[in-house]
Structure formats: C-alpha cells, structure tokens
Chains A and B, each alone.
Chain A
Amino acid sequence: GAGVSQSPRYKVAKRGQDVALRCDPISGHVSLFWYQQALGQGPEFLTYFQNEAQLDKSGLPSDRFFAERPEGSVSTLKIQRTQQEDSAVYLCASSLDVGLAGGYEQYFGPGTRLTVT
C-alpha cells in the first residue's frame, strides 16, 4: 500500500518568504507527527496530531511555525518569514494509533528539504 508522502521534496525559499509543507499520511492512521532534522543531526519533534486535534506543539521553535490537520488526514506545516536557521529536512510520520494497543510504529515519509537563502 501507499506510504506516507510529502510534498514538495525540495523547497528553496528566500529569507522572509512563507512556505507550506504538505504531508499525506497512510490512510486510516490516527496519529501524525512532524519532526525537524538539521544537517548531521537526529530528527527533533515539532508537533503531534491525533485526528484533527493538535495535542502537542511543544517542539515548534517559534510562533512563525504553524501546523494544521483540519480533516484529520492531510497535514500542512507552515513557516512564516523563513530564516536561514529554518533550513532542514522536515519529516512527517503517521501511526495507526498511539500506545501499545495500536501496535505503535511511526511510518516516516521521505521528507521535505528546505533551504533558506
């Protein structure tokens, strides 16, 4: 079956521009996660949705970052007024459920590589 897809795969933005990154999770997956992976680092948590509810946004680095999942499926991560330090790979992951009852495994998309010039 289809996995997690993300678009665009690559995005170049000039400093100060707004960007929108899309994530299509696996159909039927309840939970959706966004991570940021800087060059040479491990992924770092940004935010988490259960269906359409954003349950944890503690990892968003500033109020320039905003995420939504209005219908409990597709999610968009928006970054306003991009800065050079926003350059990273943004990974989306989905999970059938949370907790052991759901088997818990996060399936990752290929990521969007954002370069801010």
Chain B
Amino acid sequence: AQSVTQLGSHVSVSEGALVLLRCNYSSSVPPYLFWYVQYPNQGLQLLLKYTTGATLVKGINGFEAEFKKSETSFHLTKPSAHMSDAAEYFCAVRHNTDKLIFGTGTRLQVFP
C-alpha cells in the first residue's frame, strides 16, 4: 500500500532563504510522486511531478524536487523564498488505481 509522510506541519523561513519541505513515501511499486500547492480558499495546483526518468524534477515558481529511491524521499526545495510562496504544500503518491494519496500538508510561512 502507498502512503506519504510530510515531516513538519509548519515551516517558517525568511524571504530570500532556502525553502525545504520534506516528504517520504511508502510504495510497493515504482512511485509516481507529486507536489501540490494550495492557497487559501482555492483548489490544489500542481507544482511538479516525478514519473520516470530524471530524478531531479523542476516545477513552476522556481521549485524543484529530487526523487531519492534509496531514501524513499521526494523533498521540495526552492533556493530563495518569496512572500508569495506562503501557502499549504501537499506531497502525494499515485495509487496503482490512479487515485492520489496525500500527506497531511506543510504550511509554509515567509517572513519579510
């Protein structure tokens, strides 16, 4: 069975600092992994996804994530935080029946 663990329900960074949001997964099959962002009162927007191929995946808004099979991780990073990055971030793994299994989310706060 697939599952996702997001370490840290809240992360706070200063504007311009590195953003690191952690995600570990459990999957009995090669995983398809996703990061979504959710702004208040809005739906989820896809930031990036890993299916096959290159393990370093670049997404929108300057975010990227690296798939590390040996560590069963898919951490999300951004070199320099912007105030507009403040939101809730969800890591997800695709179940073999195509539904997404989400983590509990990490709320990112960015301070000036």
Contact = CB atoms under 8 A, between A and B. Distances in A.
Range, interface on chain B: 20 to 34
Given A41-B105, A100-B51, A111-B43, A56 B94 contact: no
A114 to B, nearest CB: 14
B41 A110 contact: yes
Nearest to B52: A100
B97 interface: yes
Contact of B49 (A43, A105, A110): A105
A44 interface: yes
A4 B44 CA distance: 11
Interface in A13-37: 31, 33, 35
A95 B98 CA distance: 10
Interface residues of A, number: 28
Contacts of A1: none
A108 B45 contact: yes
B62 to A, nearest CB: 19
Interface of B: 4, 32, 36, 41-46, 49, 51-52, 90, 92, 94-95, 97-105
